[in-house]
């Protein structure tokens, strides 16, 4: 059986096909990494609000400044960011009905997430560069 021969005009076809597919492959890989980091940071904010709310509702719990410190410390330890100019997370504490049983305490932690790997993707296609998204984690618990 005779093996098919390769014509001279087909020599670079695989390289050209790879060059056409590579940008989409990289976009898919880095987009998946970016989405994973975004979801991780969202979960960190939710956990920070939960930790702060739990510390605030226990009997003779800390004041608002200490609750805020707990949330900010958690965010500082676990948020994934490579931006040295980040201002960090902000904390809002609400206890509208007083600080005793069975009134609620709400702790909201927000953070302006700037895209790490693909920050200027919109700019490549002629749009405005993205300034990021605001991630929010909120927890409401009743005083014990």
For 90-128, the pLDDT digits (tens) are 999 998 888 888 889 999 999 988 877 666 666 666 666
Do 59 and 93 contact (CB within 8 A), yes or no? no
What single DSSP character describes residue 128?
P
What gap in Å lies between CA 95 and CA 142, rounded to an integer? 10
Q: What is the mean pLDDT of residues 87-92?
A: 86
In this predicted model, which residue has the larger pLDDT, 116 or 14? 14
Predicted TM-score (pTM) of the model is 0.80
Summarize pLDDT for 62-77 with one digit per residue, the tens.
889 999 999 999 999 9
Say which residue the tokens 């702790």 belong to.
107
């Amino acid at each position: 059986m005779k093996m098919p021969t390769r014509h001279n005009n087909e020599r670079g076809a695989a390289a050209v096909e790879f060059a056409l597919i590579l940008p989409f492959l990289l976009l898919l890989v880095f987009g998946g990494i970016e989405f994973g980091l975004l979801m991780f940071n969202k979960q960190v904010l939710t956990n920070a609000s939960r930790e702060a709310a739990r510390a605030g509702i226990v009997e003779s719990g800390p004041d608002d400044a200490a609750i805020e410190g707990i949330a900010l410390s958690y965010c500082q330890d676990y948020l994934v960011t490579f931006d040295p100019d980040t201002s960090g997370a902000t904390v809002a504490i609400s206890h509208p009905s007083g600080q005793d049983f069975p009134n609620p305490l709400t702790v909201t932690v927000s953070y302006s997430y700037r895209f790490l790997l693909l920050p200027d993707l919109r700019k490549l296609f002629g749009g405005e560069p993205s300034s990021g998204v605001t991630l929010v984690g909120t927890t409401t618990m009743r005083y014990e």
